[in-house]
Structure 1
Amino acid sequence: MKNLRTSLVFGVLIALALAVGLATREEAPESLVPTVENTGPQGLRALYLYLREGGRAVDAHTTSLESLALATRTLVVAAPQGQPVSKEEVAALEHFVRGGGTLVYLSPRELGQHQAALEDWLRLESGPLMPASNRGLDSNLADAGGTTLDVWIASGPLRGLSALRVSRDRGVRMGHEDAVPLAGLGGATAVWRWPLGSGEVYVLAGADLAENRRLELVDNLRFWDALSARGPLVFDEFHHQLAPPPPLSRGIWVFVAQVLAVGLLYTVSRGTRFGAPRPLRVERHRSTREYVRGMGWLMRRAKVERELLPELDRSLRQLMQERLGIPLTLSDADAARLMERGGNDYLDAKADLTKTHAQPAIRPADYARVVRRYAHLERLVTGRA
């Protein structure tokens, strides 16, 4: 008896702990990946929707950069950390830029960890920490963790801009001799331009300039307006996706096959025999036409109920309200005028229904005639006519 009581107490405690654990589910943390699907503060969803709703040609690229569309004018690679850009893709990017395209690379803050091939091609290194600046903001609390960059050379998409708002973090250095620093603060550079062939490469320190939380600050939005005005703009989403896991080794498949073979052998050796199979019994079901004929016979025998006729009109008016927005309170003449098609047919059908409803006895043929006319009106209202 004592053991039973102890078991019941422990069972109740375990059930309570399980209930508390299920009730206190925490919300998933906000995503830090700068993708066009991320609606959090560090996502790019706001920029993507702003450009699309503004009529600009913008799209998300979800395959390798070697298959970039020929019509692409600007490619944005926003701090990808899911999988590295391969050497073959770097060669495709160089061909794209030399042919007149524009590459905007928002480099990750941690250089040398995720995009070795791309950083070697662009010769990127971490720069000094940018000082704090609140120039262009209404208050110091509008963006507590950010800083305002000065536009040193207003060319290309920076033409006419004076300040950009980014996170107060480290800048970036570019090792090409012909690379030009365009914007920064103090001794830290955050925006570089590298002319290459007929195109150009813009390198930015971090994805802050495109994030949802800073898109509307100072001149950030005007920078993307200028880039999207050049032609079709594409966001690289492929390298934000995690690389697929390696395939299972052959030894695991051999082990699984051995387990299945042993289980099948045990089932065959220990399974119960049920004897020879019996012939399959064929069941013949009644056809739909027989059911329809039976319902018709039943209806003829039961006669037509007078209340069915007003129900036809109520059903049609309800459908007209749902599909066409014609209120039930309007008169039949006003409702017919608001119908795009079949207004006169509706008045004729309603007159026929009223006349039939006033008859002393309603024949099945009269009811069928009215039903056909209202069925035609339903097809008109639902667009199936």
Structure 2
Amino acid sequence: MKNLRTAVIFGVLIALALAVGLSTRADAPESVVPSVENTGAQGARALYLYLREGGRTVDAQTTSLESLSSNARTLVIAAPQGRPVSKEEVASLERFVRAGGTLVYLSPRELGKYQAALEDWLRLDSGPLMPASSRGLASTLADAGGTTVDVWLATGPLRGLANLRVSQDRGLRMLHDDAVPLAGLGGAVAVWHRALGSGEIYVLAGADLVENRRLELLDNLRFWDALAARGPLVFDEYHHELAPPPPLSRGIWVFVAQVLVVGLLYAVSRGTRFGAARPLRQERHRSALEYVRSMGWLMRRAKVERELLPELDRSLRQLMQERLGIPLTLTDEDAARAMERGGRDYLDAKADLTRTLAQPDIRPSDYARVARHYAHLERVVTGRESDALDRAA
């Protein structure tokens, strides 16, 4: 009964935690895409609804620009970054403009990154930074990140307009010889115009004029009223969407099939026995004493190399430096005097080593004798010899 009550309590707590987790959802970041479906500050939903409620003919192009309706009078491409405009679509745009259409291209701020084909056709380049200006605003806080540009040549949809409100960012350069700057501030151009065939092209620096946050500032809305008055106006939505991923190639499917076949063969080979199970093999490992005896036999057969003897002294002097602080540069006599214990033994061991080195042949027994002396000194230096004597006492 007690376990049942505990399980019920834990179940209720888990259900409450799950309910709280599902109900607490973080707000999605505000979209910066200038789409007619975006109701945020940088969207174009307000302009789309304003024109439609005002009786204007507006529509959204959700397919490739190659299928643009022949009834369209003005096409608005607002800084698309989802998918690039293809060369075939650029050719379709040129035919549309030459036939009398109006293209309004609001260029992304980063040139050469999203719409290379379109920018090559329009020959766009980055311009200087626009100066700050709050002319025409009731308060400088009404649009903190913007600036007011002047309409230099009031023609087309800019007829009768004086000022536009845009972002304080870089302007544009249009490198066609027949391109005309229409609006800007200082040396920075915000709006360009180019006549092409029976139609015309307007290129704007950034999507500022179409954004919800700046639509009602200064003469921005009047610019769109003048364009919509010409006839059906179409917003390009197709290039705001991300392109679908490419389909999986046949090679990937073949690779997956090969992996499945290999995995199946591995499962069959590991899971099926082809005979009776063999008894477990008992492996007998060699003892440590056998390894020691083998090493001793190997050393007896091997000849003692003369270089092993000086290595004993070098190792001991290195240990004396590390444990006792006796420098390697001291002579043997000075090093023996610096030792607290075993100084005399060190001189005797060094003399024995020198005599052994002078022999024409060094026997294993000679090397073993010298090695015992130095092993004794190593125990003295490390303190293990004194511990052994203390335990024996």
Cα deviation, residue 21, structure 1: 5.5
Question: Paired residue for 2:48?
Answer: 48
Superposition pairs of residues 279-298 of structure 1, within 5 angstroms: none
What do the CA deviations read for 1:191-230 (whole angstroms, capped 9, x no partner)?
0000111110000000000100000000000000000000
3-state SS in 1 of match to 2:117: helix
3-state SS in 1 of match to 2:38: coil
Question: Paired residue for 1:150?
Answer: 150
Superposition pairs of residues 50-69 of structure 1, within 5 angstroms: 50-69=50-69
Superposition pairs of residues 1-385 of structure 1, within 5 angstroms: 22=22, 24-254=24-254
Cα deviation, residue 254, structure 1: 3.6
Question: Paired residue for 1:374?
Answer: none
CA distance in 2, matches of 1:176, 1:71: 28
CA distance in 1, matches of 2:139, 2:150: 18
Q: What amino acid does structure 2 have at the position aligned with 1:190? A: A
Question: Paired residue for 2:277?
Answer: none
Q: What amino acid does structure 1 have at the position aligned with 2:160? A: G
What do the CA deviations read for 1:307-343 (whole angstroms, capped 9, x no partner)?
xxxxxxxxxxxxxxxxxxxxxxxxxxxxxxxxxxxxx
3-state SS in 1 of match to 2:51: helix
Normalised by the length of structure 1, the TM-score is 0.62
3-state SS in 1 of match to 2:93: helix
CA distance in 2, matches of 1:241, 1:36: 12
Rg bigger for which structure? Answer: 2
Cα deviation, residue 264, structure 1: 11
Cα deviation, residue 248, structure 1: 1.0
Cα deviation, residue 249, structure 1: 2.3
What do the CA deviations read for 1:225-260 (whole angstroms, capped 9, x no partner)?
000000000000111111110111224434555788
CA distance in 2, matches of 1:107, 1:135: 24
Q: What amino acid does structure 2 have at the position aligned with 1:142? A: A
Question: Structure 1 14/175 Cα, relative in aligned 2: closer, same or farther at 3 Å?
Answer: farther
CA distance in 1, matches of 2:252, 2:116: 33
3-state SS in 1 of match to 2:213: coil
3-state SS in 1 of match to 2:47: helix
Question: Structure 1 56/19 Cα, relative in aligned 2: closer, same or farther at 3 Å?
Answer: closer
What do the CA deviations read for 1:45-78 (whole angstroms, capped 9, x no partner)?
0000000000001000011111111111000000
3-state SS in 1 of match to 2:212: coil
CA distance in 1, matches of 2:248, 2:23: 38
5+ long unaligned stretches in structure 2: 1-10, 266-393
CA distance in 1, matches of 2:140, 2:195: 37
CA distance in 1, matches of 2:263, 2:121: 56
5+ long unaligned stretches in structure 1: 1-10, 266-385
- Pairwise CA RMSD of aligned residues? 2.8
CA distance in 1, matches of 2:124, 2:251: 43
Normalised by the length of structure 2, the TM-score is 0.61
CA distance in 1, matches of 2:176, 2:126: 14
CA distance in 1, matches of 2:247, 2:153: 50
Moved more, 181-190 or 24-33: 24-33
Q: What amino acid does structure 2 have at the position aligned with 1:59? A: D
CA distance in 1, matches of 2:163, 2:76: 21
Cα deviation, residue 17, structure 1: 8.4
3-state SS in 1 of match to 2:190: strand
CA distance in 1, matches of 2:258, 2:123: 53
CA distance in 1, matches of 2:162, 2:182: 11
CA distance in 1, matches of 2:70, 2:173: 31
What do the CA deviations read for 1:341-368 (whole angstroms, capped 9, x no partner)?
xxxxxxxxxxxxxxxxxxxxxxxxxxxx
Question: Paired residue for 1:317?
Answer: none
Cα deviation, residue 105, structure 1: 0.2
Question: Paired residue for 1:307?
Answer: none
Question: Structure 1 13/204 Cα, relative in aligned 2: closer, same or farther at 3 Å?
Answer: same
3-state SS in 2 of match to 1:91: helix
Cα deviation, residue 24, structure 1: 4.3
Cα deviation, residue 180, structure 1: 0.4
CA distance in 2, matches of 1:256, 1:220: 56
Q: What amino acid does structure 2 have at the position aligned with 1:143? A: D
CA distance in 1, matches of 2:96, 2:252: 43
What do the CA deviations read for 1:100-120 (whole angstroms, capped 9, x no partner)?
100000000000000001000
